[in-house]
Structure 1
């Protein structure tokens, strides 16, 4: 892990596309601004881990019965 020290208003650049800027420090809380291209997803770590866990659960859940799905679609059209 790379560890850098920055002061309020200072930035870090990642691969010419992502800029992290320290916006403020209040006690134990650091506010960070992130500038990145729109195609790059940015998540808080706890949200990212929750998404990953949901994806794992979906991938391992029992497969959907195609006939049941087709019946459900027919029923919803009525």
Structure 2
């Protein structure tokens, strides 16, 4: 992990199109401003993790439903036509 020190109003540039600026420092909290293209998602870590959990939950449910739809309904052997 690269660790950089910055003071208020100083920035870090990532690649050619992402700028992270230290906007404010109050006690143990640092406010960052992030200027990035709209196609690059930017989330706080806890929000990103919640999104990932929700996506996994949804895909698990939808994945099962999709598989059932593809394979057709499951009937007991006694109901299957011969």
TM-score normalised over the length of structure 1 = 0.77
Q: Can you list the C-alpha shifts for 1:27-60, whole angstroms capped at 9, x where unaligned?
A: 0100100001111111111111001011111121
Match of 1:12? 12
Match of 1:59? 59
Match of 1:2? 2
Q: Answer yes or no: is 1:44 the counterpart of 2:44.
A: yes
Match of 2:76? none
User: Quick check: which has more Rg, 1 or 2?
Assistant: 2
Q: How does 1:66-77 map to 2 (within 5 A)?
A: none
* Structure 2 runs not aligned, ≥5 long: 71-82
Equivalenced residues, count: 66
* Structure 1 runs not aligned, ≥5 long: 67-78
Match of 2:28? 28
Decide which moves more: 53-62 or 13-22.
53-62
Match of 1:71? none
The separation in 1 between residues aligned to 2:19 and 2:59, in whole angstroms, is 34
Q: Secondary structure at the match of 2:50?
A: helix
